Amino acid sequence: MDFCKDSSAGYLANHMARLFALGLAERIRPLGLTPGQFPALLELWEKDGQSQKDLVAKLDVEQATLANTLARMERDALILRRPHPGDGRVQQIWLTEKARALRTPALEAAMKTNANALGAMNAGEQAEFLRLMRLAIAALRGERG
Amino acid sequence: MDFCKDSSAGYLANHMARLFALGLAERIRPLGLTPGQFPALLELWEKDGQSQKDLVAKLDVEQATLANTLARMERDALILRRPHPGDGRVQQIWLTEKARALRTPALEAAMKTNANALGAMNAGEQAEFLRLMRLAIAALRGERG
DNA sequence: TTTCATTTAATAGCTCGCTATGCAATATTA
DNA sequence: TAATATTGCATAGCGAGCTATTAAATGAAA
């Protein structure tokens, strides 16, 4: 059977994602952030006070994964969980001042990592690359729910 | 600052890689395999008896990561570690018959996952996608060692 | 109202990345 | 040859993903 890892989309996707995460980790470590916190922060910088369920829906991550990530973020004083006034099941997630202040440097770090990764592509190729990744994501998501 | 997750290569790469891993995991679970074992198996199906160091060089993962993966594979009776006859530091990695027998169904599972992910692309787009991922990998690797 | 179902979040336990460190075997050098 | 450096691998500990289960609060229904 002919199977070459360098012609396997899945193999390349895994390799690429690991390198992206390492590059980002290096850049945001001085800020006290980790790559897994980034997606949650992006949503919370947009609007905090959301419930865990709200975030889960937007991030396409399992509820348990997010619960653990939020626990680490609370430990690191990036967020506060406060009970929802009208529904005792819900915890609202609020950013700390510390987390708010990290927005600009964190986004800069992410943009630098992206720019480095795409540095060898022209503008058309970059756009095409993003488009094809979105296509693959849609196809893979379709397979599941 | 304008930062949209759906226009961030790193965000998309992470999302895509997670979905690839889930799709593959589902398909190889009946075989008793997990996605992390795949890269090592690919190398060992080519040629076993290699040392851990040999595999590390080919896989671009850290030595400790591979050591743990190999420990799970040994536990699952996929490999045997035998001391190298001429150098007491080295452990040679040998496939079991069980692992050899899994080659064809495992590769089929991987190819199905890839085909599904790329199903909405024509042949030219698929080739371009792989090329652009290899470009990004090269750029991200260049940043490090 | 009491019971049962649903919803929200947390917890347990696994894989598989990473860094940092330790240990034994081998090589090198003073 | 004795001391030191290097090499190959294992282990510890953490982050971040997953599934499965549990607990508590709310809602619905008998």
Contact criterion met (CB < 8 Å) for A143 and B1: no
Residue by residue, pLDDT tens for chain B (145 residues) are 789 999 999 999 999 999 999 999 999 999 999 999 999 999 999 999 999 999 999 999 999 999 999 999 999 999 999 999 999 999 999 999 999 999 999 999 999 999 999 999 999 999 999 999 999 999 999 987 6
ipTM over 0.90: yes
Nucleotide nearest to B39 (CA to C1'): C16
What is the secondary structure of chain A as a DSSP string? Answer: ----GGG-HHHHHHHHHHHHHHHHHHHHGGGT--TTHHHHHHHHHH--SEEHHHHHHHHT--HHHHHHHHHHHHHTTSEEEEE-SS-TT-EEEEE-HHHHHTHHHHHHHHHHHHHHHTTTS-HHHHHHHHHHHHHHHHHHHHH--
Q: Please, are residues B47 and B65 in contact by the beta-carbon 8 Å criterion? A: no
Q: Closest Cα of chain B to A132: distance in Å?
A: 7
pLDDT given for residue B144 in this prediction: 73
Q: What is the tens place of the pLDDT at every residue in B91-109? A: 999 999 999 999 999 999 9
pLDDT given for residue B145 in this prediction: 62
Q: For chain B, which domains are there?
A: 1-33+102-145 (no CATH), 34-96 (1.10.10.10)
Contact criterion met (CB < 8 Å) for B16 and A17: yes
DSSP designation for B90:
-
